[in-house]
Amino acid sequence: MNKKILIVDDEKAIVDILNYNLKREGYDTIQAYDGEEAIEIFNKEMPDLVLLDVMLPKIDGFSVCKTIRQTTNIPIIMVTAKEDVVDKVIGFEIGADDYVTKPFTVREVVARVKANLRKWDSATSTKKEDVVVENKHSFFEFGPLTLDTNKYEAKILGKNVDLTLREFELLKFLATQEGQVFSREELLEKVWGYEYFGDVRTVDVTIRRIREKVEKNPSIPKMIMTKRGIGYYFEAN
pLDDT tens digit sequence for 75-118: 999 988 766 666 666 777 788 888 888 888 899 899 889 988 88
- Residue that is last in its domain, among 67, 98, 121: 121
112 and 143 in a single domain? The answer is no
Q: Is 4 helix (H, G, I), strand (E, B) or coil?
A: strand
Q: Report the SS3 class of residue 89.
A: helix
What pLDDT sits at residue 131? Answer: 42
Domain that holds residue 111: 4-121
Q: What is the SS3 assignment for 80?
A: strand
| Burial class of 125 by CB neighbour count within 10 A (0 to 12, 13 to 18, 19+) | exposed
Residue 180 lies in a domain: yes
Residues 40-55 have pLDDT tens digits of 999 999 999 999 999 9
Structural domain includes residue 138: yes
pLDDT band at 126 (very low <50, low <70, confident <90, very high): low
Show the DSSP H helices in the chain as ranges: 12-24, 35-45, 61-69, 85-93, 106-132, 165-175, 184-187, 201-214
- Shared domain check, 161 and 114: no
DSSP 104: -
Quote the number of domains for the chain.
Answer: 2
Q: What residues pair up with 99 in beta bridges, in sequence order?
A: 78
Phi first, then psi: give them for residue 31, nearest 5 degrees. Answer: -130, 150
